[in-house]
Structure 1
Amino acid sequence: MRIGELSDRTGTSRRLLRYYEEQRLIVARRSPNGYRDYDEYNVDRVLQIRGLLDAGLPTRIIKQILPCLDKPRVIYFSDATPEMIATLEHERDRMTQRITCLTRNRDAIADYIDAVRSEVRPDVTG
Protein backbone atom coordinates (compact mmCIF):
# COMPACT_ATOMS: atom_id res chain seq x y z
CA MET A 1 0.00 0.00 0.00
CA ARG A 2 1.12 3.55 -0.58
CA ILE A 3 1.87 6.04 2.18
CA GLY A 4 -1.50 7.79 1.81
CA GLU A 5 -3.42 4.60 2.48
CA LEU A 6 -1.23 3.73 5.47
CA SER A 7 -1.79 7.25 6.76
CA ASP A 8 -5.57 6.94 6.36
CA ARG A 9 -5.76 3.49 7.94
CA THR A 10 -3.67 4.42 10.98
CA GLY A 11 -4.65 8.05 11.48
CA THR A 12 -0.97 8.95 11.28
CA SER A 13 0.33 11.81 9.16
CA ARG A 14 2.50 11.05 6.16
CA ARG A 15 5.24 13.16 7.68
CA LEU A 16 5.21 11.05 10.84
CA LEU A 17 5.27 7.83 8.79
CA ARG A 18 8.33 9.10 6.96
CA TYR A 19 9.90 9.88 10.36
CA TYR A 20 9.14 6.32 11.55
CA GLU A 21 10.84 5.03 8.43
CA GLU A 22 13.82 7.32 8.98
CA GLN A 23 14.10 5.96 12.54
CA ARG A 24 13.87 2.41 11.10
CA LEU A 25 10.70 1.66 13.04
CA ILE A 26 8.93 0.68 9.82
CA VAL A 27 10.26 -0.36 6.43
CA ALA A 28 8.93 0.44 2.98
CA ARG A 29 9.96 -0.94 -0.35
CA ARG A 30 10.46 1.51 -3.19
CA SER A 31 8.66 1.02 -6.47
CA PRO A 32 10.49 1.83 -9.72
CA ASN A 33 8.97 5.33 -9.68
CA GLY A 34 10.32 5.92 -6.15
CA TYR A 35 6.98 5.67 -4.33
CA ARG A 36 6.95 3.98 -0.94
CA ASP A 37 5.16 0.63 -0.81
CA TYR A 38 4.21 -0.70 2.63
CA ASP A 39 3.24 -4.25 3.52
CA GLU A 40 -0.05 -4.87 5.32
CA TYR A 41 1.69 -5.67 8.63
CA ASN A 42 2.77 -2.02 8.83
CA VAL A 43 -0.79 -1.03 9.80
CA ASP A 44 -0.49 -2.93 13.09
CA ARG A 45 3.15 -1.90 13.48
CA VAL A 46 2.31 1.82 13.21
CA LEU A 47 -0.52 1.39 15.73
CA GLN A 48 1.92 -0.37 18.10
CA ILE A 49 4.44 2.44 17.68
CA ARG A 50 1.81 5.08 18.36
CA GLY A 51 0.66 3.23 21.47
CA LEU A 52 4.20 2.97 22.79
CA LEU A 53 4.85 6.65 22.06
CA ASP A 54 1.58 7.56 23.81
CA ALA A 55 2.79 5.53 26.79
CA GLY A 56 5.87 7.75 26.91
CA LEU A 57 8.56 5.52 25.43
CA PRO A 58 11.16 7.24 23.27
CA THR A 59 11.74 5.99 19.73
CA ARG A 60 15.20 4.68 20.60
CA ILE A 61 13.65 2.26 23.13
CA ILE A 62 10.74 1.41 20.83
CA LYS A 63 13.22 0.45 18.12
CA GLN A 64 14.87 -2.00 20.49
CA ILE A 65 11.69 -3.67 21.74
CA LEU A 66 9.66 -3.83 18.50
CA PRO A 67 11.12 -7.22 17.53
CA CYS A 68 9.83 -8.58 20.85
CA LEU A 69 6.30 -7.58 19.88
CA ASP A 70 6.29 -9.57 16.65
CA LYS A 71 4.56 -12.89 16.38
CA PRO A 72 6.18 -15.29 16.73
CA ARG A 73 8.09 -13.38 19.33
CA VAL A 74 11.80 -13.14 18.83
CA ILE A 75 13.71 -11.69 21.73
CA TYR A 76 17.25 -10.50 21.19
CA PHE A 77 19.40 -10.70 24.28
CA SER A 78 22.71 -9.73 22.74
CA ASP A 79 22.07 -5.97 22.83
CA ALA A 80 20.29 -5.76 26.21
CA THR A 81 22.48 -3.59 28.41
CA PRO A 82 21.85 -3.08 32.14
CA GLU A 83 20.89 0.53 31.35
CA MET A 84 18.34 -0.59 28.76
CA ILE A 85 16.83 -3.09 31.17
CA ALA A 86 16.62 -0.43 33.90
CA THR A 87 14.98 1.98 31.44
CA LEU A 88 12.46 -0.65 30.38
CA GLU A 89 11.67 -1.49 34.00
CA HIS A 90 11.14 2.19 34.74
CA GLU A 91 8.88 2.60 31.68
CA ARG A 92 6.93 -0.55 32.62
CA ASP A 93 6.35 0.80 36.12
CA ARG A 94 5.29 4.17 34.71
CA MET A 95 2.81 2.44 32.38
CA THR A 96 1.42 0.46 35.29
CA GLN A 97 0.88 3.69 37.23
CA ARG A 98 -0.85 5.28 34.24
CA ILE A 99 -3.06 2.21 33.77
CA THR A 100 -4.05 2.36 37.44
CA CYS A 101 -4.86 6.06 37.16
CA LEU A 102 -6.78 5.60 33.90
CA THR A 103 -8.73 2.69 35.38
CA ARG A 104 -9.62 4.75 38.44
CA ASN A 105 -10.73 7.68 36.27
CA ARG A 106 -12.73 5.41 33.96
CA ASP A 107 -14.51 3.87 36.92
CA ALA A 108 -15.26 7.31 38.41
CA ILE A 109 -16.74 8.47 35.10
CA ALA A 110 -18.82 5.29 34.82
CA ASP A 111 -20.13 5.83 38.37
CA TYR A 112 -20.97 9.44 37.52
CA ILE A 113 -22.83 8.40 34.36
CA ASP A 114 -24.77 5.76 36.31
CA ALA A 115 -25.68 8.32 39.01
CA VAL A 116 -26.81 10.91 36.46
CA ARG A 117 -28.85 8.37 34.53
CA SER A 118 -30.61 7.18 37.68
CA GLU A 119 -31.57 10.79 38.52
CA VAL A 120 -32.78 11.75 35.05
CA ARG A 121 -36.46 11.08 34.63
CA PRO A 122 -38.35 11.38 31.38
CA ASP A 123 -40.18 14.72 31.04
CA VAL A 124 -43.83 14.01 31.59
CA THR A 125 -46.01 16.63 29.99
CA GLY A 126 -49.66 16.81 30.81
Structure 2
Amino acid sequence: MKIGELAAATDTSVRLLRYYEEQGLLASYRLVSGHRRYDDSAPAAVRRIRGLLDAGLPTRVIRDLLPCVRQDGSVAECQLETLQEHLQGLDDRISALWETRASLAGLISASRANAPTLA
Protein backbone atom coordinates (compact mmCIF):
# COMPACT_ATOMS: atom_id res chain seq x y z
CA MET A 1 0.00 0.00 0.00
CA LYS A 2 1.08 3.59 -0.59
CA ILE A 3 2.05 5.85 2.29
CA GLY A 4 -1.09 7.96 1.80
CA GLU A 5 -3.26 4.87 2.00
CA LEU A 6 -1.51 3.77 5.18
CA ALA A 7 -1.95 7.24 6.64
CA ALA A 8 -5.68 7.18 5.88
CA ALA A 9 -6.11 3.62 7.17
CA THR A 10 -4.45 4.43 10.49
CA ASP A 11 -5.45 8.09 10.93
CA THR A 12 -1.74 8.94 11.10
CA SER A 13 0.00 11.70 9.20
CA VAL A 14 2.38 10.86 6.37
CA ARG A 15 5.05 12.84 8.20
CA LEU A 16 4.63 10.68 11.29
CA LEU A 17 4.81 7.47 9.25
CA ARG A 18 8.09 8.68 7.76
CA TYR A 19 9.33 9.41 11.28
CA TYR A 20 8.40 5.89 12.42
CA GLU A 21 10.36 4.54 9.49
CA GLU A 22 13.39 6.75 10.27
CA GLN A 23 13.32 5.48 13.85
CA GLY A 24 13.35 1.86 12.69
CA LEU A 25 9.81 1.19 13.90
CA LEU A 26 8.13 0.65 10.54
CA ALA A 27 9.44 -1.09 7.44
CA SER A 28 8.75 -0.21 3.84
CA TYR A 29 10.20 -1.11 0.50
CA ARG A 30 10.82 1.14 -2.46
CA LEU A 31 9.64 0.81 -6.00
CA VAL A 32 12.04 1.51 -8.85
CA SER A 33 10.46 4.97 -8.99
CA GLY A 34 11.51 5.52 -5.36
CA HIS A 35 7.98 5.53 -3.93
CA ARG A 36 7.45 3.83 -0.57
CA ARG A 37 5.21 0.80 -0.29
CA TYR A 38 4.05 -1.01 2.84
CA ASP A 39 2.83 -4.57 3.15
CA ASP A 40 -0.60 -5.59 4.44
CA SER A 41 0.65 -5.89 8.04
CA ALA A 42 1.63 -2.20 8.21
CA PRO A 43 -1.69 -0.88 9.62
CA ALA A 44 -1.49 -3.30 12.54
CA ALA A 45 2.16 -2.34 13.11
CA VAL A 46 1.25 1.35 13.19
CA ARG A 47 -1.53 0.66 15.71
CA ARG A 48 0.95 -1.23 17.92
CA ILE A 49 3.46 1.63 17.67
CA ARG A 50 0.79 4.20 18.54
CA GLY A 51 -0.35 2.12 21.51
CA LEU A 52 3.19 1.97 22.86
CA LEU A 53 3.65 5.70 22.33
CA ASP A 54 0.35 6.31 24.15
CA ALA A 55 1.80 4.32 27.05
CA GLY A 56 4.56 6.94 27.28
CA LEU A 57 7.38 4.87 25.86
CA PRO A 58 10.10 6.58 23.82
CA THR A 59 10.78 5.38 20.28
CA ARG A 60 14.19 3.94 21.24
CA VAL A 61 12.45 1.61 23.72
CA ILE A 62 9.63 0.82 21.29
CA ARG A 63 12.20 -0.28 18.71
CA ASP A 64 13.47 -2.87 21.20
CA LEU A 65 9.97 -3.90 22.30
CA LEU A 66 8.37 -4.40 18.88
CA PRO A 67 9.72 -7.92 18.32
CA CYS A 68 8.00 -8.95 21.57
CA VAL A 69 4.64 -7.26 20.93
CA ARG A 70 1.87 -9.71 20.12
CA GLN A 71 -0.91 -9.11 17.59
CA ASP A 72 -3.30 -8.10 20.40
CA GLY A 73 -0.84 -5.42 21.59
CA SER A 74 0.28 -7.24 24.72
CA VAL A 75 4.00 -7.72 25.35
CA ALA A 76 5.66 -11.11 25.68
CA GLU A 77 7.71 -12.01 28.75
CA CYS A 78 10.96 -11.09 26.99
CA GLN A 79 10.32 -7.37 27.61
CA LEU A 80 8.10 -7.20 30.69
CA GLU A 81 11.04 -6.10 32.83
CA THR A 82 11.54 -3.09 30.56
CA LEU A 83 7.88 -2.14 30.94
CA GLN A 84 8.10 -2.55 34.71
CA GLU A 85 11.14 -0.25 34.81
CA HIS A 86 9.26 2.42 32.89
CA LEU A 87 6.25 2.06 35.16
CA GLN A 88 8.50 2.50 38.21
CA GLY A 89 10.00 5.60 36.61
CA LEU A 90 6.51 7.03 36.12
CA ASP A 91 5.58 6.24 39.72
CA ASP A 92 8.75 8.01 40.90
CA ARG A 93 7.97 11.10 38.82
CA ILE A 94 4.35 11.15 40.04
CA SER A 95 5.55 10.96 43.64
CA ALA A 96 7.99 13.83 43.06
CA LEU A 97 5.22 15.89 41.46
CA TRP A 98 2.93 15.30 44.44
CA GLU A 99 5.70 16.52 46.77
CA THR A 100 6.24 19.59 44.60
CA ARG A 101 2.51 20.25 44.53
CA ALA A 102 2.26 20.00 48.31
CA SER A 103 5.12 22.50 48.69
CA LEU A 104 3.49 24.94 46.29
CA ALA A 105 0.08 24.57 47.94
CA GLY A 106 1.71 25.23 51.33
CA LEU A 107 3.40 28.34 49.99
CA ILE A 108 0.10 29.64 48.59
CA SER A 109 -1.71 28.89 51.84
CA ALA A 110 0.94 30.62 53.94
CA SER A 111 0.94 33.62 51.60
CA ARG A 112 -2.82 33.99 51.84
CA ALA A 113 -2.75 33.71 55.63
CA ASN A 114 -0.18 36.49 55.85
CA ALA A 115 -1.70 38.75 53.20
CA PRO A 116 -3.09 42.06 54.45
CA THR A 117 -6.86 42.31 54.36
CA LEU A 118 -8.49 45.06 52.38
CA ALA A 119 -11.10 47.01 54.32
TM tier, smaller? 0.5 to 0.7
What amino acid sits opposite 1:42 in the alignment? A
Structure 1 length-normalised TM = 0.60
Aligned to 2:56: 56
* Aligned pairs for 1:55-74 within 5 A: 55-70=55-70
- Tell me if 1:89 matches 2:84: yes
2:22 counterpart residue number: 22
The separation in 2 between residues aligned to 1:40 and 1:92, in whole angstroms, is: 32
The CA distance in 2 between the partners of 1:12 and 1:33, in whole Å, is 24
Counterparts of 2:59 and 2:65 in 1: how far apart (Å)? 10
TM-superposition CA deviations, 1:31-83 (whole Å, max 9, x none): 01000000010100001101110110011111001001146xxx7x6xx8xxx
| d(CA) in 2 for partners of 1:20, 1:59 | 8
Calculate the TM-score normalised by the size of structure 2.
0.63
Q: Give me the whole-angstrom Cα distance separating, in 2, the residues matched to 1:64 and 1:57.
A: 11
Tell me the alpha carbon deviations over residues 1-58 of structure 1, each in whole angstroms, 9 at most, x when there is no partner.
0000000000110000000000110100000100000001010000110111011001
Aligned Cα RMSD in Å?
2.8
Displacement of 1:91 in angstroms is: 2.8
* Aligned residue in 1 for 2:35: 35
Structure 1 gap ranges (5+) = 95-126
Q: Which runs of 5+ in 2 are unaligned?
A: 91-119
Equivalents in 1 of 2:61, 2:33: separation in Å?
33
* Runs of 4+ deviating beyond 4 Å: none
Q: Which amino acid aligns with 1:13?
A: S
Name the SS of the counterpart of 1:17 in structure 2: helix
